[in-house]
Structure 1
Amino acid sequence: MTNKLLPCVLLALGLLAACAPEIKKPVENKSVEANETEIIVPPAHETNIANASEDAPGVAVNLAPDELTLVLPNGSARHASFGIAKADAVKMLTAALGNPIEEATNQDCGAGALGYAAFRDGLSLYFQDGKFAGWDLDGRENGKFTTGNGIGIGMTRKALEAAGPAEVGETTIGHEFTMGELSGLLSSDAPDGKVTNLWAGVTCIAR
């Protein structure tokens, strides 16, 4: 190629490069990152109707001093821990128990105004500043919920103390016991006295 043609060739290549379409970088998909913080409830039970025993067979709710746990038939678990948003906690429990039978705010609690959602079988969730803060269980429907080591409504004091160290005393609300962060009431302080109530976290226990 002659030296005279070289500038023309370079000019033509430059014009082609200028006309070539710009290659755009792919847009990052942030949906995965957003979904990582989403609380997932059992897919088969997202559209519950009233009776949870029919809607979510085999889904158990376990009690703990700092949360409620949904245990699915395959053994996997969903944790509703204290501090999660009210909407998320209600959604998770609704997936297992059906819709709450009552939702309101109690202005007369010792901790101040607390929101609550009452479910069937005597289980209620309490909310403070829009966050899940505590739960309460009574025996109005022979409560079917227990802790991981079997503590539940109807358990005797003898069996309770066999499950772990418990402090029992007479208070303004009756024969009250504490086991770490878990609290409750007994029908009497005798060995055959039975657990009538359980609670943990911030609740609205009238004293």
Structure 2
Amino acid sequence: MMRYGLLLLPMLLAGCGGPEPERNATRSVVITGNDNELIVPVPRGAGQNSTEAGGAAVALEPDGLGLGATRRATFGMPRAAVTDMLAKALGSPIEEGDDQECGTGALSFASFRGGLGLYFDAGKFVGWDLDGRDGGRFATATGLGIGTTRKQLDAAAPVTLEDSTLGIEFSMGGLSGLLSSRDPDGEITNLWAGATCIAR
């Protein structure tokens, strides 16, 4: 009996603090383009990543990464500065090295938790890529990220599709990526911008 009483105590205490937020609660963003407006549900936290210590949010951008409301890591910045900025927001890189087999030539890389990879050439930040690890944790400021559908992409801006050796590749402004299918409900599985080596 004592064991069951101890198990119930945390549940009773949790009820005193008001309703618990839903684990999979979502927020919505409005994407405009092509004379259309689309309200897109975005998983809570997408595009608002931070460390438990309160690091800056990281948003995917065509020419780099946004960190919080005012700081940006743009292509061309020194590797040390960019890596330091990201480490403060996401923790130290989980892997760093050089890749000699990229189509654009040899690139250095730094991989962070959540599937975000940064690429450097001659000590300068030149690109980023994102895969679906950790459930598509990152997104653009408008909520586009892993799991965004082809329909949502089409509503946001003109999209170009092509079949490549990597799969169904799309480009939209300075962003590129892969879709799981050409159907309206096909989802983004990878995103990148700048010079990358996603086949690594």
Q: Corresponding residue for 1:70?
A: 67
**TM-score of the superposed pair, with normalisation by structure 1:** 0.70
Percent identity, aligned pairs only? Answer: 58
Asked whether the equivalents of residues 61 and 145 of structure 1 are also in contact (C-alpha less than 8 Å), the reply is yes
Is it true that 1:183 corresponds to 2:176 in the alignment? yes
Q: 1:128 and 2:126 equivalent?
A: no
- 2:148 aligned residue: 155
CA shift at 1:70, angstroms? Answer: 0.5
Amino acid at match of 1:155: T
Which entry has the higher C-alpha Rg, 1 or 2?
Answer: 1
Q: Is the partner of 2:154 in helix, strand or coil?
A: helix
Cα deviation digits, residues 73-124 of structure 1 (max 9, x gap): xxx3211000000000000000100000001111111111100000010000
Three-state SS of the structure 2 residue aligned to 1:147 is coil
SS at match of 1:53: coil
What one-letter code is carried by the residue in structure 2 that aligns with 1:53?
T
State the shift of 1:180 in Å: 1.6
| RMSD of aligned alpha carbons | 1.4
Which residue in 1 is equivalent to 2:51? 53
Secondary structure of the 1:95 match is helix
In the other structure, the counterpart of 2:199 is 206
- Post-superposition offset of 1:160: 1.1
Aligned residue in 2 for 1:115: 108
The one of 96, 101, 116 aligned to 1:103: 96
* More helix per residue: 1
Q: Distance in 2 between matches of 1:169 and 1:111?
A: 19
Q: Is the 8 A contact 1:136 1:197 kept in 2?
A: yes
CA distance in 1, matches of 2:154, 2:57: 24
Residue ranges of structure 1 left out of the alignment (5+ in a row): 1-51
Range moving further from structure 2, 163-172 or 115-124: 163-172
Rounded Cα–Cα distance in structure 1 between residues aligned with 2:106 and 2:100:
4
Number of residues paired by the alignment?
Answer: 151
Could you tell me how far apart the structure 2 residues matched to 1:195 and 1:53 are? 25
- TM-score if structure 2 supplies the norm length? 0.72
Contact 1:109 1:204 in 2 (8 A): yes
Unaligned residue ranges in structure 2 (runs of 5+) = 1-49
- The structure 1 segments of at least 4 consecutive aligned residues displaced by more than 2 Å after TM superposition are none
- Report how far residue 53 of structure 1 moved: 3.1
Alignment partner of 1:192 out of 177, 182, 185: 185
Aligned equivalents of 2:100, 2:53: Cα separation in 1: 33
